[in-house]
Amino acid sequence: MARYLFIRIASAIPTLWLLVTLAFFLVRFAPGGPFDFERALPPAIEANLQAKYHLDEPLLQQYVRYLGDVLQGDFGPSFQYRDYTVSELIYAGLPVSMTLGGLAMLIALIGGVAAGSYAALRRNRWPDHAVMTASMTGISVPNFVMAPLLVLVFAIYFDWLPAGGWHDGALPYLVLPVIVLALPQVAYIARLTRSSVTEVLHSDFIRTARAKGLSPREVLLRHALKPALLPVVSYLGPAAAAVLTGSVVVEEIFGIPGIGRFFVHGALNRDYTLVLGVVIFYGALVILFNLLVDLAYAALDPRVRYR
């Protein structure tokens, strides 16, 4: 087990290194620099800023310096938010983004599986069509359209919820962004669940279960759901990635102080250190997440042994 853990962590290092390197050079190849403003800086000041952030050094030297700093846990100062370091910004945005993303994933899983199974049980009848139509809408309407739409209905016409803001994640401020973020995933998972439940319901062992006199509800919960959920499980990885990218848009629209916003503004403003910091952080998060799932998986299933 310890050996497996060691190998997994060790193999994460080259992955991260590749990610850092790619991101470092890609962000540098974008034209325009962090101190190119409409109002030009006096030469002495620009030289000072360049020197302060080591931008006057050869690119390769900057790369080596950056890697060294990152290894010591120093992501450097933000070029754009000049009063903060990148680590401070990520640390501040982390709980916000995690709350948003975590809630959206939970809702996607629960809502999607429930709606999908229900549709499968009522296949080709109106509840099925209703769920499928709703989920098709959920998949095809992009979040930047869905968000203003929900705001219009729930914040402006009914005045039930605020139209944006965060305020330490108070419940009313959470509802709309979480729903917008979860909706496409709920829809996708519902469709996945419906088709696989339908398929499983046609298999022999289900007929046997029915023949034994089990109610449709019991057949679903005891026998059909488990095998039917396999595709859903394999979709969780892409879903997490989709929630991550979705949060970039949702945070911007609802004015939520999460990490996604830093990514967008950092890229637009050529805030090299901030963009790199977020990329490394996201990369590490995905790697860590996969590792945790695999470990928990081993802990739960006695047949799985990692060596």
Partner 1 sequence: MTRCGMRRLLATACVLSTLFVTAFAAVSAQGQAEESADVLRRGNYLEPESLDPHRARGAEAANILRDLYEGLTREGPDGKILPGTAESWEISEDGRVYTFHLRDDARWSNGDPVTAKDFVAGIRRSLSPETGSPYAQTLAIIENARAILANDAKPGTLGVIARDERELEIRLESPAPYLLRLLSHHSTYPIHLPSLEKHGEKFTRAGNLVSNGAYRLDEWIVNGHIKLVRNEHYWDADDVRIETVYYYPIGDEEAEFNRFRAGGLDITQTIPVRRYEWLKREMPEALRIAPYLSTYYYGFNLRKPPFKDAPKLRRALSMVIDRDIIANKVLGRGELPAWTLTPPGIENYQSPLPDYASWPMEKRIETAQRLYREAGYSNDKPLEVELRFNTGDTHEHVAIAIASMWKKHLGVDTNLVHEEWRVFLQNRRQREITEVFRAGWVGDYDDPQTFLQLLHSESGVNDYGYANPEYDALLEKASNTADPEKRMEIYRRAEAMMLADQPILPIYIYVSKHLVSPRVGGWEDNILDHHASRDLYIKD
Site for partner 1 in 31-60 (CB under 8 A): 31-33, 36-45, 47-49, 52
CB of 52 or CB of 125, closer to partner 1: 52
**Span 127-146, contacts to partner 1 by CB under 8 A:** none
Give the number of residues written for the chain. 307
In whole angstroms, what is the distance from residue 192 CA to residue 186 CA? 10
**Residue 268 CA from chain centroid, whole number:** 21
Sign of CA dihedral 31, 33, 39, 41: negative
Stretch that binds partner 1, among 21-29, 90-98, 119-127, 213-221 (CB under 8 A): 90-98
Regarding 306 and contact with partner 1 (CB under 8 A), the answer is no
Near partner 1 by CB under 8 A: residue from 23, 70, 75, 80: 80
Residue in 176, 146, 145 with CA at minimum distance from that of residue 163 = 176
Binding mask 94-123 for partner 1 (x = CB under 8 A): xxx-xx--xx-xx--x--------------
Which range of residues in 68-76, 130-138, 184-192, 260-268 is near partner 1 by CB under 8 A? 260-268
Residue 307, interface with partner 1 (CB under 8 A)?
A: no
In sequence order, what are the residues at sequence separation of 6 or more whose Cβ sits closer than 8 angstroms to the Cβ of residue 44? none
247 forms part of the interface with partner 1 (CB under 8 A): no
The beta strands (E) that lie in the chain are given as: none
Rule CB under 8 A: say whether 229 interacts with partner 1.
yes
Q: Is 233 in the site for partner 1 (CB under 8 A)?
A: yes
Q: Which of residues 153-182 bind partner 1 (CB under 8 A)?
A: 155-156, 159, 162-173
Q: How far is the CB of 133 from partner 1 (least distance, A)?
A: 27
CB 154 → partner 1: shortest distance, Å?
9
Bridge-partner residues for 85, per DSSP? 77
Buried b (16+ CB within 10 A) or exposed e, 234-266: ebbeebbebbbebbbbbbbbbebbbbbbbbeeb
